[in-house]
Amino acid sequence: MNVLPCRWLLSALLLPVMMPGAESSPKLGSKIFTWESLAVKPTPVGERRDVSDNPTATLRVFECHITTLNPGRASHPPHTHPQEELIVLREGTLDVQVNGVITRVGPGSLFFFASNDPHNVMNPGNTPATYFVFNFTTAVSPTLRGQAAQPAVPGRRGSSIFDWTKLEAKATKTGERRDVTDLPTLTLANFECHISTLKAGEAPHAPHHHPDEEIVLVKEGQLDVTINGTTQHAGPGSICFISSGDEHGWKNTGDTVATYYVFRLKTEATPVVAMK
């Protein structure tokens, strides 16, 4: 028996689900994707805006797009994949199905789908529903391809739905903060998420840097985001990707509060020594 074809077949079966060539695409560095700059493409169920499908300093592939579902339409039948997925609902209503359980949620809510858990979303409302999709593929993801959904493990984030109306807002010196999660997952060494609200004219901290990569999604208001000394305006719907080690900071330059989601990702490729 020739073992070479068998090894090739095994490698093929372990490849993560992604667009062809995504892993060999140019590496994504720090970048701000403004809502206004994203091209809109019609789909059979509504619209789509493509953001990224690239490797990064610590992710094998970071795939991001924005979907608009027309009333009564579903994203797709319930399906599974090895990479873990995060969805943030911008507007409208969604019925979120994960592991056979359906939960209805409104704007501002987040949903995390763990590796290989069956999931989909459907718009039960009378208006379009628009949501941000983030897929994270790490070196661990390919090893989970084809496996059954894993049972929940204490201390590890499994599939979860975070209803905006149930997230507790805590006062801070500069505004408010809603803590969402700060745990490892099946494929991430740690996944930290919180939602900050800044008063007009405030900044959350001085410019700084850290080894884990960070994503900032603007929910409302206006931010001036500075990365490696360059400042760019980011309004509602803008996505800021901050690569490992890059200096960054932001300030609310508007006349009203600014609210934004923060996702910090650690993988097996994240430097373990704090950068100086």
Quote the pLDDT of residue 273.
67
Q: DSSP string spanning 46-96?
A: EEEEEEEEE--SS-SEEEEEEEEEPTT-BSSSSB--SSEEEEEEEES-EEE
Q: What pLDDT sits at residue 1?
A: 34
In a domain, 72, yes or no: yes
Asked if the structure places residue 8 within a domain, the reply is no
Q: What are the tens digits of pLDDT across the range 34-88?
A: 999 999 999 999 999 999 999 999 999 999 999 999 999 999 999 999 999 999 9
Structurally, the chain folds into a number of domains equal to: 1
Residue 155 lies inside a defined structural domain of this protein: yes
Please give the Cα distance from 79 to 81 (Å, whole number): 7
**Three-class SS of residue 161?**
strand
Residue 190 domain flag: yes
104 in a structural domain:
yes
Q: Is residue 272 in a domain?
A: no
Q: Which of 205, 214, 224, 217 is nearest to 261 (CA)?
A: 217
pTM of the model: 0.90
Q: Which domain holds residue 180?
A: 27-266
Q: What is the largest CA-CA distance in the chain?
A: 72
- The residues with which 14 forms a beta bridge, in sequence order, are none
Per-residue model confidence (pLDDT) at position 15? 36
Q: What is the pLDDT of residue 25?
A: 83
Chunked into runs of 10 residues, the chain (276 residues) has average pLDDT values of 33 39 84 98 98 98 98 96 98 97 98 97 98 98 92 92 98 98 98 98 97 98 98 98 98 98 98 65
The Cα 242–Cα 17 span in angstroms is 24
| CATH code, 261 | 2.60.120.10
pLDDT value at position 208? Answer: 97
3-class secondary-structure state, position 186: coil
pLDDT at res. 3: 35
Is the residue at 130 inside a domain?
A: yes
Instruction: Give the dihedral sign, CA 29/207/224/179.
Output: positive
Is there a contact between 41 and 49 (Cβ–Cβ < 8 Å)? yes
Instruction: Please indicate, yes or no, if residue 54 is contained in any of the structural domains.
Output: yes
